[in-house]
A and B are shown apart, each in its own frame.
Chain A
Amino acid sequence: MLKPLLPATILIVLVAGLPPCNAAADSFSREYMVKAGFIVNLIRFTTWPESKRPDPGEPFRIGICGSLPAARVVARALSGGRTVKGHVITVRIADLQDLLDSHLVFIAGPVSRGQQKLFPVLHDRSVLSVGEDDDFLSLGGIVNFSVVEHRLVLDINKAAADRSDLSLSARLLQVARTVVSSYRIPAPAEPARQR
């Protein structure tokens, strides 16, 4: 899985200004730095409901939970005063239940049972949930990262997004490998591309 990443990933890593590590660590870090970049971009293609988006001058809160090493890489990539949509990004690594007031949460690694239970809350609070578990969408997650042939691809649960009152850009849907219309549906055995 840890294969040399694409130039885009490298690009994102370089942009993040991460220092070089050992080869394995580099591969791991590079993967998550790319995922961090993807996360920021997801913010750009997503529109939050009026009440849930940050007021001007308020930071954009990103919560990271799950596998800690990954969380740290992502957190580090996202920190540093980066702005998106005119808001400074703040990153917090915590348990999911502590991250319910975030605008976006990244659940690194597989989703635990405990986290599964919080998904409806996330929906209610219009939190964009991003994960990297093959069942993430069927559990009610909105955007899931997966690496296919050294490329990071997106799968999107449109139904969950609708449920969360989040508006995903059509262009985002376009680049997604799979767009799932119902989050109750278990994770699909075969990925099917939809337009």
Chain B
Amino acid sequence: MNDSAKFSIKVKLVLLIVSVTTLAVMVAGLIFTIRDQNAARRELRKRLQGTAALIASNATAALTFNDRDTAAELLASVMANRHMHVAAIYDVKGRLFTFRKRASGDHAPRKLTGPSTGPEFENLIEATAPIRIDGRTIGTVMLMADLEALKQRTRELGANLLFATIVAMAVAVLLSITLQGVITTPLKELAEAMKRVRDRRDFSQKLKVDRRDEIGQLIEVFNDLLARLDEHERQAQRHRDNLEEEVAARTVDLERAKREAEAASRIKGEFLANMSHEIRTPLNAIIGMAGLAGKKELSPDLANYIRIINKSARSLLGTINDILDFSKIEAGRMEIESVDFRLSKVIGDVTSMFTEKAAEKGIEILVDISDTVPDVLCGDPMRLQQILVNLVGNAMKFTERGEIEIRAVRTEEDDSHCRLLFSVRDTGIGIPPDKRGSLFSAFTQADGSTSRRFGGTGLGLTISRKLVELMDGNIWVESETGKGSTFHFTAVFSLPDEKEDCTPDTVPDFTGKTVLLVEDNSSSRAVFKKMLESFGFGVVACQSGDEALKAAEDADAGFDIVIVDWMMPGMDGITLTGKLKEKNATAASPFLMITAFGRDVQRREARQAGIEHFLTKPIKRSDLYNAIVEIFSTSRPELFKVEESRPDRSLAGRRVLVVEDNNINRQVAKEILRSYDIICDTADNGAEAVKAVQRQHYDAILMDIQMPEVDGHEATRLIRRIPGMGRLPIIALTAHATVEDRERCLGNGMDDYITKPIDQEELIDCLRGWINGRDTARQTPHAAMPETADNDAGVDAPQLLPGLDVAEGLRRIGGKVEIYRRLLCAFAEEYRDIGPRVSELLEEGNMQKIHLLCHSLKGAAGNISAQTTCELADRICRAATSHDAEEIKRILPELAAAIEEVNAGVESWAAA
């Protein structure tokens, strides 16, 4: 802001007017003064000149007649004027004739020179006049007067001017103060009006225009501006109003749409759930019945039919599950669990799912889990397994020969999380580059023809992708047409707080020991080598039989173990074993055969060749480790893990109530339970179930959720209210496979949860867990022995019992001595009369029953680590399968003796 903007217009106006007025007055005064001065000066000079001329005239005679006195008289007369300083008369030659001067004056008559009138000097004005007579100049009169009169006049004028100026200023101030209102008042009013408009935001006001000057124009413009603002404001207001209405209208629309969408979604979800249920129920029946039928003695054709039915039904189930999953993903309702699990088990389950198929196609399945991958993870094992099954299934589908490798490595880790990279590599037909992009989109397969040829919904990869994304990972594929594809995916898992030391990774025992590994498949060989080296072995890896023989010959020392692949081009594993047995380096070595096929026929051949230990591909690290540990730690000739869970009798005689409204499902459940010798009652609905539990003691209830009248949840609540029923195991059976469903079940007082269609093993495992677990819990207070589960101090386990590997047995059940002892007692009780029973059956020729009996014996014996008994039972099983009665007869006495031995040992311990 400059100086002029600091002051109000009022001040500026006053200043302006006053200064202009003053200036005008002063200029006028000055001009007047100057003119007056000049005029006065001229007048003065003229007067002086006149005086001089008069003197000159009067002095003529005096000068002519040389009369100084008269001349002096004359001069004296002019000196009467007080402003006259000098008066002088000069003669014709310019000589001073006579003069008068003021006594106080400093001026003296000067020498007469120059013109008759000269300029004033030293504030004096001078006039001269010639003295003439008869036309001749005879002298000069000179007068000098001061300008005092002039000065006086100037002073008077100045004073007048000053006075006039002051008066003018005063008048100007008064006038301007009065008049500035003319300008500033309307401005102030305008400003006030603007302020009001601003403060009230009322643009509808108009200012009065009663003038036509600039301020009037300003007001008009301001009014115009106000009008526009007002219009603008109204428009904005209208817009706002409209907007609100619009928003309200849209909100209503949206809410309706949202409600509709939600309703549609809910209906869709319900529809899907219902459909799922409706489809699962018959499927349940098909699978269950097919499973049961498969256990019967059937002609090969029928068995094949049943197998195909079973397979197709499971395939259909898988498809339905896919669709259900997909719809859940679409609805955003897919959820990821977070539970602790073992990665090795998940991958093991995946591989075992494909073992048979791989064997059929002659494909090897390799598993390579990096050492850095923690085994125990926290995440959703079911979903992880689903992804892997999907990828391996695809690989299996598109691979005709070669191998499928499942790899897992850790890519990053922090304290609580780790990211794993899984890869599923196959040697199949590969995926053309242009198809890879759409691979993970819904309903897409690489090729329509592929779809027709290989089947599949095309949803698998889409679901996998979504699942991977839910696990904070991503999925991608690398592929080379004709050479195979590799699907990679990453997933983030949290790490459990306490890391269980589940895999005894480092055992120094193996350090320095050497292994001869013979495996034709290079990938597989590399995996094995890596595993073995991680155990501490020195590994000599060979890719063929010939190479292995050469290695055996070249070896300085014997090999501690020989691991041989069964299927190899050229020399197969069995032939090679025979030859290696003749070599010094390997003659005494234990042999471990790796087979892709768990078929008994081949095993027999192998056993005949002197191979006692087997592992079935795909081989997990823990399997290999356990196998080797057992080879070194025992002289036990056989190391079979009972891989398939066969019906056992651990639940025999238990009573289970099946609550299920659907007749077929009821039948299925019933049959499954019956096949495990479980006594089964049924109830059609919840109400019946509630009545039933009051009539009869049950060890467990299988409770369907969706039932007419009283549903599973309600029935459970009712049962829980009955005294003494608080701890009865109630296991939900439902087609609803969501987390919420399960939580709801558990929240309603149920103990566990099984998804339909019912998987036999899952059901039995579950029941066993609940019934036996409950038994233990229930019986403990009444047991003669103190609780030993955690405190075994009171019970010493004998180091050795005849026919039993106590250490192994205890290890199997987690070192719980009391339970082990009870198991032994139960075993002794159960199988005391096994010899006569088998003989009886043998006579009947019922090989099936013998097989079943001996199979369960084998299982039980295995559980308590009665190795001899277990082995013999297994031999009888196999003999029964091959209808070899002679073999059974031969083995039976041995079996009886072995059991006798065990029983004796058990009794001696029990008595102790």
Please give me the residue from chain A that is nearest to B61 by CB atom. Answer: A171
**From residue B306, how far is it (CB to closest CB) to chain A in Å?**
184
Within 8 A of A (CB), among B113-140: 133-134
A172 interfacial by beta-carbon distance below 8 Å: yes
Contact check, A84 vs B62: say whether CB atoms are below 8 A apart: no
Assembled-state Cα–Cα distance A6/B97 (Å): 12
A44 interfacial by beta-carbon distance below 8 Å: yes
Residues of B within 8 A of A153 (CB): 67
A-contact 0/1 string along B60-103, CB 8 Å cutoff: 11101111001000000000000000000001010000000000
Knowing A45-B61, A169-B61, the reply to whether A175 touches B67 (Cβ < 8 A) is yes
Residues of A within 8 A of B67 (CB): 153, 174-175
B-contact 0/1 string along A111-146, CB 8 Å cutoff: 000000000000000000000000000000000000
Contact check, B66 vs A44: say whether CB atoms are below 8 A apart: no
Residues of B within 8 A of A169 (CB): 61
Contact check, A44 vs B70: say whether CB atoms are below 8 A apart: no
Instruction: Give the residue of B66, B70, B93 whose beta carbon is less than 8 angstroms from that of A174.
Output: B70
A151 interfacial by beta-carbon distance below 8 Å: yes
Residues of A within 8 A of B93 (CB): 11
Contact check, B133 vs A41: say whether CB atoms are below 8 A apart: yes
Contact check, B65 vs A38: say whether CB atoms are below 8 A apart: yes
Assembled-state Cα–Cα distance A152/B93 (Å): 21
Assembled-state Cα–Cα distance A107/B61 (Å): 22
Residues of A within 8 A of B60 (CB): 171
Contact check, A175 vs B65: say whether CB atoms are below 8 A apart: yes
B58 interfacial by beta-carbon distance below 8 Å: yes
Residues of B within 8 A of A8 (CB): 66
Please give me the residue from chain A that is nearest to B136 by CB atom. Answer: A44
Contact check, A41 vs B70: say whether CB atoms are below 8 A apart: no
Range for the number of chain A residues in contact with chain B:
10 to 19
Contact check, A151 vs B66: say whether CB atoms are below 8 A apart: yes
Within 8 A of B (CB), among A1-25: 6, 8, 11
Residues of B within 8 A of A44 (CB): 64, 133-134
Within 8 A of B (CB), among A54-102: 84-85
A154 interfacial by beta-carbon distance below 8 Å: yes
Knowing A171-B58, A174-B70, A175-B70, the reply to whether A154 touches B65 (Cβ < 8 A) is yes
Within 8 A of A (CB), among B35-80: 57-58, 60-62, 64-67, 70
Instruction: Give the residue of A84, A152, A171 whose beta carbon is less than 8 angstroms from that of B66.
Output: A152
Residues of A within 8 A of B133 (CB): 41, 44
Interface residue tally for chain B (C-beta within 8 Å) = 14
Residues of B within 8 A of A174 (CB): 58, 61-62, 67, 70
**From residue A170, how far is it (CB to closest CB) to chain B in Å?**
9
Contact check, B61 vs A85: say whether CB atoms are below 8 A apart: no
Assembled-state Cα–Cα distance A8/B62 (Å): 12
Assembled-state Cα–Cα distance A153/B134 (Å): 21
Knowing A85-B134, A174-B70, A175-B70, the reply to whether A41 touches B64 (Cβ < 8 A) is yes
Which of A45, A85, A151, A175 is most buried by chain B, counting CB atoms within 10 A of its CB?
A175
**From residue A15, how far is it (CB to closest CB) to chain B in Å?**
10
**From residue A147, how far is it (CB to closest CB) to chain B in Å?**
12
Which of B57, B60, B61, B70 is most buried by chain A, counting CB atoms within 10 A of its CB?
B61
Residues of B within 8 A of A175 (CB): 61-62, 64-65, 67, 70
Residues of A within 8 A of B70 (CB): 174-175
Contact check, A84 vs B134: say whether CB atoms are below 8 A apart: yes
**From residue B869, how far is it (CB to closest CB) to chain A in Å?**
192
**From residue B137, how far is it (CB to closest CB) to chain A in Å?**
13
Assembled-state Cα–Cα distance A155/B164 (Å): 63
Assembled-state Cα–Cα distance A150/B91 (Å): 19
Residues of B within 8 A of A151 (CB): 66
Assembled-state Cα–Cα distance A118/B733 (Å): 198
**From residue B551, how far is it (CB to closest CB) to chain A in Å?**
174
**From residue B67, how far is it (CB to closest CB) to chain A in Å?**
4
Which of A38, A44, A153, A154 is most buried by chain B, counting CB atoms within 10 A of its CB?
A44
Contact check, A171 vs B62: say whether CB atoms are below 8 A apart: yes
B-contact 0/1 string along A36-50, CB 8 Å cutoff: 001001001100000
Residues of A within 8 A of B62 (CB): 171, 174-175
**From residue A150, how far is it (CB to closest CB) to chain B in Å?**
11
| Additional 12 contacts, C-beta under 8 A, given A11-B91, A169-B61, A175-B65 | A8-B66, A41-B64, A151-B66, A152-B65, A152-B66, A171-B57, A171-B60, A171-B61, A174-B67, A174-B70, A175-B62, A175-B67
27 of the cross-chain contacts (CB-CB < 8 Å) are A11-B93, A38-B65, A41-B64, A41-B65, A41-B133, A44-B64, A44-B133, A44-B134, A45-B61, A45-B64, A151-B66, A152-B65, A152-B66, A153-B67, A154-B65, A169-B61, A171-B57, A171-B58, A171-B60, A171-B61, A171-B62, A174-B58, A174-B61, A174-B62, A174-B67, A174-B70, A175-B64
Cβ-closest 9 pairs across A and B: A171-B61, A175-B67, A8-B66, A175-B65, A175-B61, A41-B64, A44-B134, A175-B70, A172-B61
